[in-house]
Amino acid sequence: MANQKTLFSLHMKDVVIVKPSKPTPSVTLSLSTFDNNPGLNILCHTIYVYKANLDYPNGQHQLDPAHVIKEALSKALVYYYPLAGKLITHDDGKLRINCNGDGVPFLEASANCELSSLHYLEGSHVPTSQKLFFDNPSQDETSEHALVFKVTKFLCGGFTFGLGLSHAVCDGFGAAQFFRALAELASGKCEPSVKPVWEREKLVGTILKEPLKLPMDETLKAVSPFWPTTEISHECFNLNGQIIQRLKMRLMKEGDKSVKDSFTTLETLGAYVWRSKARASELSSEGQTLFSVAVGVRSLLDQPLPEGYYGNAFVAANVVLTVKELNERPLSYVAKLITESKKLAFKNEYIRHSINMLETMRKYNIRIESTGASLILTDWRQLGLLEEVDFGWKASVNIVPVPWNMFGYVDLCIFLPPSNLDPSMKGGVRVFVTLPKASMPKFREEMEALKVMKDWELMREAPS
């Protein structure tokens, strides 16, 4: 990806700690049941890519992005003061956040090349991306930072912004809300347009009395000859709007008369990616495979969460099929099941039961281990991170998730908005997947099939 003639390297400055610009409350805050999901107790890294601002008059020195972001961060932490604290595990096993104003570790770096030589991280070359974020620098093993930053400046005047944020504190919508507030303060606003709200007690569950029923029986899970393994591949696939529309039309023609409305992109592409992953993983035919997509619930509860709530607020909409069914049933049937699972997840009773399930699983230390038999999908396309976040360098041209060990890597799939680098991708989707290295070539074939096959070939029912 990078120009191999010049070895990409960075010069690092010393880490600085950015503190809130004004005094903040000194308290210990509890987290919700969603936040206490053990699978979310990780630092999620995302890299935002900004080109140089060419609108400055000739001879005028461009603003230093690291300085601008540091100043904005200091102001933002007055409102988002929990992010300046440390996560701690209480005696009851639950996470809390110690709001002590410790501050946020901030690392500044300079690269020896232009962003164009890295293709603005298009394609998400993981070894390169990993140099552009700041891993958790906490020296205290009993607590960790909820937020870390790294700004890397390039010779062209562009920069990357590596954001590491605890998933136990924010979900995607919460992270986007914080990031927009940061940009607003950087652009000169006195305060964020949306004020943050904590109120995590609104999403605390109770222990279930009835036996716990998981979406998929662990003993019936399909198995893959490629898992377990330490050889993991990460790849991002670009699918333009025409490809997706063509697949939608085929599913509509293939579906029965009960399908009155077009499938969404998530339902259409989710079904195809799920089937492709199962084929690429060579999952055992009679075993079960799970499709699970995160559904935001902020406005769905009987008492909707207040605007500004930035904690985790999503449930899983699940579909379980045998691998044989997934392979042999029409893809429209699979997409319809995804549609129905989402409708169920919209119901208040389902949401409350999901919270109680998580609370019960946490209490009895029930963990669902990754086996490669599931597809856990999260959709970043509606977060507005490529259109709305301007620190003075216009909107970012790319956003790249750095792989983190969430759902055991191999179960996680992210739908990303297209970067702003390729006009032909308007209306398209970038599909980011992590798979065992041995299964990636077959998955790549499945993705390429969408681009080159004739319409009728897309609807093949049996694996090739």
Q: Which residue out of 35, 45, 145, 167 is catalytically annotated?
A: 167
CATH 3.30.559.10 corresponds to the domain 218-382+398-458 = yes
Q: Is the pLDDT reported for residue 275 higher than 60?
A: yes
The whole-number pLDDT of residue 6 equals 57
Q: Is the pLDDT reported for residue 58 higher than 70?
A: no
Contacts of 449 (CB under 8 A, 6+ apart): 457, 458
Whether residue 228 has a cis bond before it, omega within 30° of 0: yes
The whole-number pLDDT of residue 115 equals 94
Q: Is the pLDDT reported for residue 9 higher than 80?
A: yes
Q: Provide the pLDDT confidence category of residue 259 given band limits of 50, 70 and 90.
A: low
The whole-number pLDDT of residue 464 equals 41
Q: Indicate left, alpha or beta for 174 from its phi (over 0: left) and psi (-120 to 50: alpha).
A: alpha
Q: Which residue out of 102, 119, 125, 390 is catalytically annotated?
A: 390
Q: Provide the pLDDT confidence category of residue 239 given band limits of 50, 70 and 90.
A: very high
Assess whether 390 carries a catalytic annotation: yes
**How do residues 204-221 score in pLDDT, each as one tens digit?**
999 999 988 999 998 999
Express as a percent the part of the chain with pLDDT over 70: 89
407 compared with 271, residue with greater pLDDT: 271
Residues in the chain: 464
Q: CA–CA separation, 279 vs 426, rounded Å?
A: 29
Contact 410, 278 (CB under 8 A): no
Of 200, 250, 203, 184, nearest to 97 by C-alpha is 200
Q: Is the pLDDT reported for residue 257 higher than 70?
A: no
**How do residues 324-333 score in pLDDT, each as one tens digit?**
999 999 999 9
Residue with tokens 């995302």: 46
Q: Provide the pLDDT confidence category of residue 114 given band limits of 50, 70 and 90.
A: very high
Express as a percent the part of the chain with pLDDT over 90: 70
Query: Where do the structural domains in the chain lie, given as residue ranges?
Result: 10-203, 218-382+398-458
**How do residues 132-185 score in pLDDT, each as one tens digit?**
998 755 555 556 899 999 999 999 999 999 999 999 999 999 999 999 999 999
Q: Provide the pLDDT confidence category of residue 451 given band limits of 50, 70 and 90.
A: confident
Q: Provide the pLDDT confidence category of residue 128 given band limits of 50, 70 and 90.
A: confident
The stretch 227-240 carries a mean pLDDT of 92
Q: CA–CA separation, 344 vs 424, rounded Å?
A: 35
Q: Which CATH superfamily is domain 10-203 in?
A: Chloramphenicol acetyltransferase-like domain (3.30.559.10)
**How do residues 394-434 score in pLDDT, each as one tens digit?**
778 899 998 766 656 789 999 999 988 889 998 999 999 99
